[in-house]
């Protein structure tokens, strides 16, 4: 009897987990019109279900990206590295910029962990490999693929917020440096404007040597600019809609 009870409870929790993930996915998806969320869910699942969660290549998400295409928003696209909270604190309140998390796929999967298992058709949210446990893990491959698609449609003036409180604001291992910047092409992107977020104890700024690597990676023809902006100014601009987007920094 005890074993049966344990089995039932375990079975229920696992099922609940699965349906909870699926309902989070669908309810977040349904906030966006123009998408067939059931179809998007199907395309999403096929990327990792019934697979070893360390053997999900970036390309496994190609059909998902095809099912939920990104629309280019010229001059409004915002990229970031190690500044997620500042960026989203700002974009939540103001309409100036669009981040990947404002698009269907980014917003649906932001903050979530998911993976499959060989021999199972379920989605698991526990026991999934961490970001750097193995290279081709379910979650990391998704963010690489989605970031690549988002960067592919970048156009006009592009903005990126980098962190002035770390040693290497432009870190070659970040998704921003390794996936996004190399995909900006001069025929679409005019200028890359880096906003260096400066806190009280900042250790780097726009003169940081890592930005040299950034300008060297940039496609010839894309101009580069960088501005040191205090975190409090970014917050102020987020809180005051009367400040025009272009006057924030
Ligand atoms: O490795 P990063 O920063 O440079 O990646 C950020 C970069 C942004 O410009 C986004 O367009 O790549 C995109 N991106 C996301 O939008 C995103 N949302 C949530 C990349 N990663 C994203 N995450 C999670 O943040 C992801 O699961 C991983 O843990 C971090 C990577 O962010 P980072 O190292 O600060």
- pLDDT at position 47, please? 98
The Cα–Cα gap between 152 and 76 comes to 14
Indicate the SS3 state at residue 208.
coil
Backbone angles phi, psi at 238, to 5 degrees: -65, -35
Alpha helical stretches, state H, the chain: 2-29, 37-45, 62-67, 84-93, 104-109, 138-152, 175, 210-217, 231-239
Which residues are registered as beta bridge partners of 223? 191
Confidence of residue 19 (pLDDT cuts 50, 70, 90): confident
Indicate the SS3 state at residue 78.
strand
The Cα–Cα gap between 182 and 36 comes to 31
Q: What is the pLDDT of residues 202-243, one digit of tens each?
A: 999 999 999 999 999 999 999 999 999 999 999 999 999 999
Nearest CA, atom 5, ligand 1: 175
Backbone angles phi, psi at 63, to 5 degrees: -60, -30
Q: What is the pLDDT of residues 159-199, one digit of tens each?
A: 999 999 999 999 999 999 999 999 999 999 999 999 999 99
Query: What is the rounded average pLDDT of the residues 1-23?
Result: 69
Q: In whole angstroms, how far apart are CA 25 and each of 17, 44, 107, 171?
A: 12, 10, 9, 31
Contact call for residues 245 and 94 (beta carbons, < 8 A): yes
Q: What is the pLDDT of residues 82-138, one digit of tens each?
A: 999 999 999 999 999 999 999 999 999 999 999 999 999 999 999 999 999 999 999
Confidence of residue 18 (pLDDT cuts 50, 70, 90): very low
Which residues are registered as beta bridge partners of 227? 195
Q: What is the pLDDT of residues 144-164, one digit of tens each?
A: 999 999 999 999 999 999 999
Residue with tokens 């928003």: 73
Lowest mean pLDDT among 15-29, 50-64, 120-134, 170-184: 15-29
The model's pTM: 0.91
Q: Which residues line ligand 1 (CB under 6 A)?
A: 79-82, 84, 100-101, 106, 110, 131, 139, 143, 147, 150, 174-176, 180
Of 169, 217, 157, 162, nearest to 194 by C-alpha is 162
Pseudo-torsion of CA 182, 221, 74, 65, nearest 10°?
Answer: -30
Instruction: Report the catalytic residues.
Output: 74, 155
CA of 8 to the centre of ligand 1 (A): 38
CA of 201 to the centre of ligand 1 (A): 23
- pLDDT at position 11, please? 63
Nearest CA, atom 18, ligand 1: 110
Contact call for residues 64 and 103 (beta carbons, < 8 A): no
């Amino acid at each position: 009897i005890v074993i049966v009870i344990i089995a039932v409870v375990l079975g229920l929790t696992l099922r609940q987990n699965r349906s909870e993930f699926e309902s989070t996915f669908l309810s977040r998806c349904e906030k966006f019109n123009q998408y067939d969320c059931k179809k998007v869910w199907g395309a999403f699942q096929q990327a990792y279900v019934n697979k070893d969660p360390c053997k999900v290549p970036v390309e496994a998400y190609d059909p998902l990206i095809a099912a939920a295409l990104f629309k280019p928003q010229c001059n409004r696209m915002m990229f970031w590295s190690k500044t997620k909270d500042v960026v989203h604190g700002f974009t939540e309140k103001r309409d100036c910029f669009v981040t990947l998390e404002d698009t269907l796929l980014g917003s649906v999967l932001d903050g979530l962990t998911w993976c499959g298992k060989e021999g199972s058709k379920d989605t698991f949210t526990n026991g999934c490999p961490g970001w750097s446990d193995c290279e081709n893990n379910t979650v990391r491959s998704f963010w690489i693929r989605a970031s690549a698609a988002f960067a592919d449609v970048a156009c006009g003036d592009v903005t990126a917020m980098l962190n002035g409180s770390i040693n290497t604001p432009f870190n070659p291992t970040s998704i921003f440096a390794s996936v996004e910047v190399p995909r900006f092409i001069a025929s679409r992107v005019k200028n890359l404007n880096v906003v260096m977020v400066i806190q009280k104890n900042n250790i780097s700024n726009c003169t940081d040597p890592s930005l040299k690597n950034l300008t060297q990676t940039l496609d010839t023809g894309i101009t580069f600019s960088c501005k040191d902006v205090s975190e409090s100014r970014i917050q102020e601009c987020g809180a005051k809609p009367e400040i025009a987007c272009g006057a924030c920094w």
